[in-house]
Every structure is written in structure tokens, then in C-alpha cells.
Chains A and B, each alone.
Chain A
Amino acid sequence: MPISAIIMLIFGCTVLYGGLAYFLYRAWKASDR
């Protein structure tokens, strides 16, 4: 797989799954309102 595809893979995973994890963490911290 070309290096550019791997970079886009890392970029996509970081934004989507990293972002999702961050907002889930904020929700968990704020507890179930």
C-alpha cells in the first residue's frame, strides 16, 4: 500500500475515532444528565 494511503488512513482514524473517543469521554465525564 502506498505511503500516501497509509497517511490518509492515520488521518481518517485520528479525526473520526479520536474525535469520537474525545466526545464520549466528555459525555462520560459530564455523567448521564
Chain B
Amino acid sequence: MVIIVDRQEHWNSRFAFIMAAIGSAVGLGNVWRFPFVCYKNGGGAFLIPYFVALFTAGIPLMILEFSIGHMLRGPPPECFRKIGKKFEWIGWWTTLIPFVVASYYVVVMAWCFSYMIYSLDLRWGTNAEGFFLNTFLGVTSGPAVIGGFRIPILLSLIAIWISIFIILYKGVSRIGKVVAITVPLPTILLIILTIRGLTLPGALDGVSYYLTPDFSKLLHADVWLAAYAQVFFSLSLAQGILITYASFLKKKSDVTNNAFITSLADAGTSFLAGFTVFSVVGYLALLKGVSIESLGIAGPYLTFITYPTAISLLPFAATIFGMMFYIALLTFGIDSAFSMIEPITMGLHAKWKISKAKSTAIICTLGFLASLIFTTGSGLHWLDIVDHFIANFGLVIVGLIECIAFGYLFKLYRLREHANNVSDIKIGRWWDLLIKFVIPAILIILLSVSLIENITVPYMDYPYWTIIVGGAVPSLAIFILSFVLMRMRRR
């Protein structure tokens, strides 16, 4: 018997749903990943494969996930169970992967929280790299040397997990209220930071690096793969989040247009963030008399070393702009973080009729415990390893299974008809072809390339045992746990 989740709960409005979906999609990756990927893969020319990927994979997959949640009305385990009882484990797998991602994503939020406070007195001083790696993180020589807990990170982590619990335990009505602030606010802050950045000397040189097209790169297959990977990882796809969020939509709510708005808002934020990042990087390169390539312009290096260095060198109001930057990151990230927790809490709530408050408390406590390893001196190493494997393998495999399950085991045209019945914009049979053939083919290529790369050379030269512990063990544990959760008797 399929137990349907209590459908009394709905988004307050269409605006609330769109804001929540945008909040989930827009995260730290928009700031610290897209600008770098764009610059590395042909600058402005990268926009061409990026838009192709967005319209041929990102938006169609988002329409698929919104349609699944809206039509089958439940978190992923319930939706997959409706295809067939033996497929429920795929739904659990889909919810467990974002839970693992959240366990380290929240730690990065904790770094942002600490840095927001440090911005008050620009605590990193003149040596942002030394401060971040040694004083703040206390990075050990390798993943084998665990090191002690970093107390400022631990305290920030507790604050973030408590915030997530408070936002989630009351259900989507509270999420709707929170995202009405946490989605527009960082966007406004990013615009202010971009305007400030563009008025600095050297900023236009930085922007030139970002946007000057190198069309010869379009002939390289890896540039196209990078575009598809960027779109896939940026839109919160294959994590069960969009399925869960769409299940709270009212019966007559639009699906297709919401997917276009969410995807374009996410991509638009990434594009804007490129100006924020490269204007400041151009300024820093000019002041230091170094090339832009020599500065860290991606990942934690960008946000916790390069950007703070540039903030310290601002002619005025450095503290205010520092605070703005970290508040923007924190608010961008918090929506993504709680959206990763929502699918599994809803899964528990639906299967065992555990109250929303209790299921949220259980998951937040487990998430906090799982986060602890990342607050130690070896945290940066483990974060890097786990993220690499979960993102490159876990998410891509889930995306692939999702396309196969709904493309071949379910009558895909029913989802298309459902989307067309409730949506302003109608989709044609081309969508079926994309879900059944094009997107699975791209995901298989992405998976194969990652697999070959990781087999031939160990990731970042980490010892093989750490790759097994940080990559294979969590993946296997998620896989086994998915079956255990499926087999457990429902209430």
C-alpha cells in the first residue's frame, strides 16, 4: 500500500515556491565555481556551450523533477515506490546523497559565519593565506593526521545546524517566509559588491579575462563536458530536492514556466558573480603586480584567501564590504543547505509518520555528527575527497538512474501531459527524446571520463586508502542504507 504524505501542506504562494527552488539552486558554487569554469573554458565563448547545456539538459531535467513531485505528490522514496515497490531504494539513495553533501556543505557555511565575524576587524591581516590555512583551519599534513577540533568552526557549525532545524521543523510555510528574505538579500548584496568592484582600478582587466572569448576552445570536447557538468551540479538536480519541493505545489500550479524561471535565475546569478569575482581579482592583480592566473580564483582559495586579501586593500569601508560578502555567501548557502535536508526528513515523515519536528531533529543531529570530521585539522582534506566523489559519481549516477527509471520504466508521456495540463508553456515530444537519450548519454560520458581520470591518477595524489575511506565507503554505505530503509516496515 502506498501511503501518501499529508497533502494539507502547501507553499504559501507560487512566489514562495520559486524563491525556494532558486534558493536551493543558487549556492556557493555560483560564486566560487562558475566564474572560474567560464574563464578556464574559453571565457565568453563558454557561454555558448553553457546555454546549450542549460536548454538541452538543465531545464528539461528540472521540468522532469518538478513534474515527478507535482504529479506523484511525495518525497523521492514515495515517488519511486509508485513506479514499483522494488524501486523505492532509488528514492532513498536520492535523499541520502544530499544529506551527505549537507554534512560538509554546512561546514563551509560555518567558515563563512566565522569570516563574517572576522570581517569586523579584518582578522586575517596581511596574510590571509596563513590565517585561513594555519590559524583558522589548522590544516594538518594529510588526511591521516586528524588533528583536534577547531572550536570557532565547531561553534559556528552548531549555530548553522540549529538554524536549519528552526527553518525546517515547521514545514514549508516557514521555508516560504525564510526564502522571501534569504534569496533576494544576497542577490542585492552581490549587485552592490559588483558595483563596488567595477569602480576599482584594474577591474575591467579582470572582467576582460572573464569574458574575452576564445572560440577555438569550442572545438574541445572537454569544454562541452564542463558546460554540462556545471549546469548539472548548479541546478540542485538529482538530489530529490526539486521533487520534494514540487510535491508541495497546489494541484493547478505551473511546472514548466517555474523550471525556466528557476534555471535562468540560477544561471543569471552565476553570470553576475563572475563580475563580482573578476573585478576584485583584477584589482588585486594590479595592486600586487602579478598576473590573474597566479591568484586563487576558485573554491575556498577564492573566498577565504584571495577575496579577503582584496577586501583588506580596499581604500575605504573594507569592514562593511567584507561583512556584505560573507553575509551574501551565508544566505546563498543556507537555502541550499536546508533544501538538502528536506527530502530525507520528508521521506522519514512519509514512511513512518514521524512528526516533522522529530524527523528534522533526528536528521539535523545525525548531520551534525557527520559534520564533525570536517571541523578537525584534517577537515579540508576530507571535505575535498568526499565532495569530489559524491559530486562526480553519486549525483551523476542518481541523475542517470532517474532518467532511466522515468524514461523507460514509467510512461514518460504521462509526466509530459501532466506538465502540459497545468503549465502555461507546453512541451513537445522533443522533451521525451532529451530525457530518454540525450541526457543519459551525456551523463554516461561524464561518468566514464571521471572514472578513467580517477583510476589512472589518484585524485590530488591522495593515498588510495583515503580515497576508499572518503569516496568508496560513503558511497557503499549510502547504497546499502537505501536498501535497508526500503526493507524496513512502514507505519
Which residues of chain B are within 8 angstroms of A1 by Cβ–Cβ distance? 204, 207-208, 211-212
Determine if B260 is an interface residue (Cβ-Cβ < 8 Å): yes
Assembled-state Cα–Cα distance A6/B210 (Å): 11
Contact yes or no, A33 B43, CB < 8 A: no
Assembled-state Cα–Cα distance A8/B424 (Å): 31
Contact yes or no, A20 B271, CB < 8 A: no
Contact flags (1/0) for A1-33 with B, using CB distance below 8 Å? 110111111011101110110011011011011
Q: Which positions 9-47 of chain B face chain A at CB distance < 8 Å? A: 13-15, 18, 43-45, 47
Q: Which of B14, B211, B267 sits near A32, CB closer than 8 Å? A: B14
Contact yes or no, A26 B44, CB < 8 A: no
Which residues of chain A are within 8 angstroms of B258 by Cβ–Cβ distance? 27
Which residues of chain A are within 8 angstroms of B44 by Cβ–Cβ distance? 4-5, 7-9, 11-12
Assembled-state Cα–Cα distance A20/B472 (Å): 40
Which residues of chain A are within 8 angstroms of B252 by Cβ–Cβ distance? 33
> For the side of the interface on B, what is the size category?
20 to 34
Contact yes or no, B47 A23, CB < 8 A: no
Determine if B290 is an interface residue (Cβ-Cβ < 8 Å): no
Assembled-state Cα–Cα distance A6/B43 (Å): 12
Assembled-state Cα–Cα distance A16/B267 (Å): 7
Determine if B257 is an interface residue (Cβ-Cβ < 8 Å): yes
Contact yes or no, A5 B261, CB < 8 A: no
Write the chain B residue with the least CB distance to A19: B264
Q: Which positions 203-221 of chain B face chain A at CB distance < 8 Å? A: 204, 207-208, 210-213
Contact yes or no, A24 B261, CB < 8 A: yes
Write the chain B residue with the least CB distance to A8: B44
Contact flags (1/0) for B420-439 with A, using CB distance below 8 Å? 00101100000000000000
Q: Which of A2, A7, A19, A33 sits near B250, CB closer than 8 Å? A: A33
Answer whether A26 and B257 are a contact pair too, CB < 8 Å, given A1-B207, A1-B208, A5-B211.
yes
Determine if B265 is an interface residue (Cβ-Cβ < 8 Å): yes
Q: Which of A9, A11, A20, A27 sits near B254, CB closer than 8 Å? A: A27
For residue B424, give the distance in angstroms from its CB to the closest CB of chain A: 5
For residue B164, give the distance in angstroms from its CB to the closest CB of chain A: 28
Contact yes or no, B253 A8, CB < 8 A: no
Contact yes or no, A5 B212, CB < 8 A: yes
Which residues of chain A are within 8 angstroms of B14 by Cβ–Cβ distance? 27, 32-33
Contact yes or no, A23 B257, CB < 8 A: yes
Determine if B51 is an interface residue (Cβ-Cβ < 8 Å): yes
**Interface residues, chain A, with chain B CB atoms under 8 Å away:** 1-2, 4-9, 11-13, 15-17, 19-20, 23-24, 26-27, 29-30, 32-33
Given A5-B212, A7-B44, 17 more contacts at CB 8 Å?
A: A1-B207, A5-B208, A8-B44, A8-B213, A9-B211, A12-B271, A15-B51, A19-B260, A20-B265, A20-B268, A23-B264, A24-B261, A26-B257, A29-B424, A32-B13, A33-B252, A33-B422
4 smallest CB-CB distances across A and B, nearest first, come from A8-B44, A5-B211, A20-B264, A16-B268
